[in-house]
Amino acid sequence: MNIDGVLPFARILLEKVVHSGDIAIDCTAGNGHDTLFLAKRVGENGRVYAFDIQEQAIEKTKKRIQEHEVEEQVTLLHQSHDRLTDCIPEDHQGKVKGAIFNLGYLPGGDKEIVTKPDSTLSSIEQLFRMLDSGGIIVLVIYHGHEQGKLEKTAVLHYAEQLNQEKAHVLKYEFINQKNNPPFIIAIEKR
């Protein structure tokens, strides 16, 4: 396939804005794949903050970043992503270049523990204030479960209402696939 899949496209967007020495945030650490990707992007002089409410996710992410020897530039936070303002140092707020969410549940984890619309929207609002001009928030939206459908609706409504003079908003999705394929909402601060 020549068209980029959803997850590769999410990384393409982040590669455009996250570079050595930058600040980035993984709002849903999960199994640590995006945390590792961001840690490699920011390098030794950058910082990645990775959030997750599940101890299992924090442990998996910790193991992954240790295996790749990038733990020095990562701060793992066993917190909800809606605690961004409380957890990100003030001197890094306003300097965030990129952030990513994988909304839904932890792959291989408890499918009853899912991201929720209220905390996700609160987190997006906090992140938008923390973004540097040109910074991007990437939301990968998995909506094949009941809570995911509610979150999808809330995030789409929120994103569609963002002032075009303050943000560029992109929706990237495959429209002929079965079983509610994930899609991306990307928000770039102008």
Write out the two tokens for 101. Answer: 């969410």
What predicted TM-score, i.e. pTM, was given to this entire model? 0.97
The reply to whether 1 falls in a domain is no
The reply to whether 133 falls in a domain is yes
3-state DSSP call for residue 136?
strand
Are 51 and 25 spatial neighbours (Cβ–Cβ below 8 Å)? yes
Range of the domain at 37: 6-189
- Which among 18, 59, 61, 58 has a CA at the least distance from the CA of 40? 18
The reply to whether 33 falls in a domain is yes
pLDDT in tens, 64-110: 999 999 999 999 999 999 999 999 999 999 999 999 999 998 888 88
The reply to whether 32 falls in a domain is yes
Burial of 121 (0-12, 13-18, 19+ CB in 10 A): middle
Specify the number of domains making up the chain. 1
Phi first, then psi: give them for residue 147, nearest 5 degrees. -65, -35
The reply to whether 122 falls in a domain is yes
Write out the two tokens for 97. Answer: 């270049």
Write out the two tokens for 18. Answer: 């996250």
pLDDT in tens, 155-164: 999 999 999 9
The reply to whether 30 falls in a domain is yes
CATH number of the domain within which 78 lies: 3.40.50.150
